[in-house]
Structure 1
Amino acid sequence: MPTSLLVLLGPTASGKTALAVDLAKRLDGEIISADSRQIYKGLDIGTGKDLLEYGDVPYHLIDHHTLGDHYSVAHFQKEAYDAIQDVLGRGKQPILCGGTGLYIEALLANYSFSHVPHFLDKPITLDLTYRVFGLNPELGIRRARISDRFQARLAAGLIEEVEGLLAQGAAEADFIRLGLEYKWIVQYLRGEISRERFEEGLEVAIHQFAKRQMTYFRKMEKAGISISWIPDTLDFQGKSDFVLKNI
């Protein structure tokens, strides 16, 4: 029976989901998302949920909140902790996968808060061993993947997805609060920026976001969370094997 947590992190477009799914199949595991935006229903294209990619692999903390719900790091910490305990309790391997460094660190470092949130009786302590693996594609590869994926999401209906949610009553302020794609789309739909400015500016913003993600992961390492970086020279199967050999 599994007694530890497997963590897979990396910047956007690094291939985390596909690798996590492969590892879950090989380890009889379940995936727990550590993504601050995939928690919301309806934000499918922009957040890259890629739910079909999971196949029959169970996943947690995706589509379990409505846009506009109050959600904090403390909420994630509690929900991720509960999901991990649930997965372990059924004899499965929990795999925490995502790119929201603050969420991952809050769980692994047992963040405590100045005031215990109203939904907790006491602070959460993850009394569990864990092993963290990271994906970090070479900069040129990462940039190409981000650009290709961005164009693919536009073609898949990213803007139309937001238009539809706004028509159903979603608040512009909630999209702006999410940042990146959603903030830029609202500005475009308001007529505040041109289509050209929207596409060029947003693509640059996503590249900058990926850089900030890596900066945060390096900060986590300096704070004492060890990350085993998977060699980017390995092919997909090699990366999966690397994790299994080093758990």
Structure 2
Amino acid sequence: MENLDLISIIGPTAVGKTTVAAHLAAVLDGEILSADSRQVYRGMDLGTGKDYADYLVNGKSIPYHLIDIVDAGYKYSVFEFQNDFIKAYYDIKQRGRMPILCGGTGMYIDAVVKGYKLMKVPINDELRSELELLPEIDLEARLTALKSVHNHTDFDTRKRLIRAIEIELYQQEHQVEAMAYPQIKNIYFGITVDRNTRRKRITERLHTRLRAGMVEEVEALIKGGVPVETMLFYGLEYKFIAMYILDQITYDQMVEQLNVAIHQFAKRQTTWFRKMERDGNNIHLIDGMLPMEEKIAIILQKIG
């Protein structure tokens, strides 16, 4: 492990990534860097699955980073994540601890491990006005035609589609300045469970979080000043619960449609990670149903 800079624990939602990362951190004296595009927001807890208890291992609190770093209502970008990641990464390394990246947002993971050359993209009101006139199917076709790598969540809402097109066009029209970014020697571990188990976990977890107050969480965010349009932008739980609050769908419709959407999201995540493998990334797969001791033993053996 002498030359290893980063360990990445990845996989789709509901496979148990965080608990594996936390137990590994406890063994290696490590700290966790979250790679979740929505857990960056303060106040968005149940809807993003911030299971803080997962960071407590045998009475020891495992340090984590890149969670609760911006206010709900803000539209955080991959560019900002890349910069926030590298600051936290250097801090962990300088203190002699092991950085462990953990999450399921494929674009975020790729951006920091591969060192994407990103830039801050300004708002283009003229372009947005033009795109607002197009039907969603045309927006999807236009984004796909740009042939740049983009996050699957770019297709979740009209606003995401328009922003993704805006970013792609800006990057094509402007010279991307090289930014200082370290070459990170990383090893991937992908946590997997069979499809039926994952589906069962997703559905059970959804009902658990609804009972715990997920609708009330979204109501509180809206009452606190977060625009409904931004709730729709965040997608999944926030999108469908906001639609329910607006009386656009019934409670039962919200639960049913949200459940389907989360299953589809998990499938898109799995597709992304398979593409990573096709692109030459070696992902060591670990059966998520194994006892924790065995999962950690497999990782320790691989990293030497």
TM above 0.5, one fold?
yes
Deviations 1:167-224 (A, max 9, x none): 1111111111010010000100000001111111110110010000000011111222
Alignment TM-score, normalising by the size of structure 2? 0.77
Number of equivalences = 245
Q: Deviations over 1:25-57 (max 9, x none)?
A: 011000000000000000011111111321311
Structure 1 residue 4, shift from structure 2 partner = 1.4
Tell me the distance in 2 between the aligned counterparts of 1:146 and 1:61. 24
* Distance in structure 2 (CA, Å) of the matches to 1:23 and 1:58: 12
**2:264 aligned residue (205, 208, 223):** 208
Query: Paired residue for 1:151?
Result: 207
**What is the percent sequence identity of the aligned residues?**
44
The TM-score with structure 1 as length reference comes to 0.94
Cα deviation for residue 242 of structure 1 reads 1.0
- In structure 2, the partner of 1:108 is 113
The residue aligned with 1:17 is 18
1:1-247 to structure 2, matched below 5 A, reads 3-55=4-56, 56-113=61-118, 115=119, 122-232=178-288, 234-247=290-303
Are the counterparts in 2 of residues 108 and 126 from structure 1 also a CA contact under 8 Å? no
Quickly say closer, same or farther: Cα 1:38–1:233, change in 2 above 3 A: closer
Other structure's SS at 2:186 match: strand
In 2, Cα distance between equivalents of 1:116 and 1:49:
28
- Please state how far the C-alpha of 1:128 moved relative to its aligned partner: 2.2
In structure 2, distance between residues paired with 1:154 and 1:70:
25
- CA shift at 1:125, angstroms? 2.3
Q: 1:155 to 1:18 in 2, by over 3 A?
A: same
Structure-2 separation of matches of 1:91 and 1:121: 31
Residue 134 (structure 1) shift: 0.4
Instruction: Point out the more displaced range, 3-12 or 94-103.
Output: 3-12
CA distance in 1, matches of 2:107, 2:191: 17
Larger radius of gyration: 2
Work out the CA distance in 1 between the residues paired with 2:217 and 2:75: 22
> What SS does the corresponding residue of 1:135 show, helix, strand or coil?
strand
1:65 maps to amino acid: V
Deviations 1:35-94 (A, max 9, x none): 000000000111111113213111100000012224211111111111111101100000
Deviates more, 1:67-76 or 1:16-25: 67-76
Q: What secondary structure does 1:245 align onto?
A: helix
Distance 1:140 1:223, change over 3 A: same
In 2, Cα distance between the equivalents of 1:157 and 1:195? 14
Note the C-alpha offset of 1:18. 0.8
Distance 2:82 2:231 in 1: 23
Kindly provide the amino acid, as one letter, of the partner of residue 115 in structure 2. N
Measured in 2, the distance between the counterparts of 1:116 and 1:38 equals: 21
Q: Which runs of 5+ in 2 are unaligned?
A: 123-175
